[in-house]
Homo-oligomer: A and B are copies of this chain.
């Protein structure tokens, strides 16, 4: 079970230029095969399906704690999309002014027609996220190999989305996710290493480009987010240090586990109402309008 907090994992800036193009692309980080819904759901199922938890306690705790962090990653991606979309249409009450003209040009039409200029569980091509993206074989080594692959693929996608634009919202999002996603790459590598003695961590980074090449990642690296596993549970997670320990493969300080929350927690961004999308409500054009219109059409006998 979980307890929700009304917070984002980090603060996202407002876009310089709202962009339905960027919002469509960022959906790959949401509903793509290697998007944040996939990481969340993979670790969720691996956690609840874990057999012989006692014998493999630190591994169980590791996967369970990362699962809980991923909820926050999904929220962060959604919030970035929502910020990018706010301001792409003409705010107002008059449907005849074609306020949603942008929807005709938008690559992701669901964000307008099915949502109120907001995120949905689809990828950058509008394909819905689906459960075939979940691996939960029960074999610990196999699932860890999968997770190492998944986080590595996710890192590649984040890196590419970063490269599409100089918009600060997209860059802040991907800068943060590159750092935290990389800790998950390393964590699954460390877990495999602990089980097998193979130095899997040395494969990091894949792709080969270091996180240090991304300016927006620097403050997170400096705050310790690159080498620290924070606690996203109500349990003591210090046993994870049996896995998460030793030197960092990309030059950050040594790996460390803490029972503290992640230090970057921020408020949710404000999302103003969009009356032209009836989100959360569509005001009537003016008070009494309906009655007056009906009177004009049908006369006073009504």
CB neighbors of B among A2-31 (8 A): 2-9, 19, 21-22, 24-25, 28, 31
Question: CB distance B126 to A129 under 8 Å?
Answer: no
Counting CB contacts under 8 A, is A118 at the interface?
A: yes
Give residues 157-172 of A contacting B (CB, 8 Å).
157, 159-166
Q: Which one of B1, B33, B207 lies within 8 Å of A139 (CB-CB)?
A: B207
**A268-302 to B contact mask, C-beta < 8 Å, 1/0:** 10111110111111111100011101110110001
Q: A90-112 toward B: CB 8 Å interface, digit per residue (1/0)? A: 00011111111101110111101
* Chain B, Cβ-Cβ closest to A117: B138
Please, which residues of chain B bring their CB within 8 A of the CB of A129?
A: 130-131
Q: Is A255 an interface residue (CB 8 A)?
A: no
Q: Are the C-beta atoms of B208 and A98 separated by less than 8 Å?
A: no
The answer, yes or no, to whether A87 is at the interface (CB within 8 Å) is no
- By beta carbon, the residue of chain B nearest A86 is B51
Cβ–Cβ contact A279 & B138, under 8 A: yes
The reply to whether A116 and B98 form a contact with Cβ atoms under 8 Å apart is no
- A41 CB, nearest partner CB in chain B, Å: 6
For the complex, give the distance between the alpha carbons of A140 and B291 in Å.
Answer: 24
Report A57 CB to chain B, min CB distance, Å: 11
Taking the full assembly, how many copies of this chain does it contain? 6
**Min CB–CB distance A4 → chain B (angstroms):** 4
Given contacts A48-B79, A132-B133, 8 further A-B contacts (CB under 8 A): A4-B234, A6-B233, A50-B271, A51-B280, A110-B125, A121-B134, A139-B280, A145-B203
Interface residue A194 (Cβ < 8 Å from any Cβ of B): no
A120 within 8 A of B: yes
Please determine whether B164 and A104 come into contact, CB atoms closer than 8 angstroms: yes
With both chains docked as a complex, state the minimum distance between the C-beta of A210 and any C-beta of chain B, in angstroms.
5
CB distance from A277 to the nearest CB of B (A): 6
The residues of B that contact A94 with a CB separation of less than 8 Å are 213
Please name all residues of chain B whose beta carbon is closer than 8 Å to the beta carbon of A6 when the two chains form the complex: 64, 233-235
Contact with B along A51-69 (1 / 0, CB 8 A): 1110110000000110110
Q: Shortest Cβ distance from A157 into chain B, in angstroms?
A: 5
Nearest CB in chain B: distance from A102 CB, A: 8
A148 vs B279: C-alpha distance when bound (angstroms)? 19
Asked whether B21 lies within 8 Å of A289 as measured between CB atoms, the reply is: no
Chain B neighbourhood of A161, CB < 8 A: 113
Mask: chain A, 125-153; 1 = CB below 8 Å from B; 0 = not: 11111111111111111100110110011
With contact pairs A64-B6, A104-B25, A293-B212 given, residues A281 and B139 touching in the complex (Cβ less than 8 Å): yes
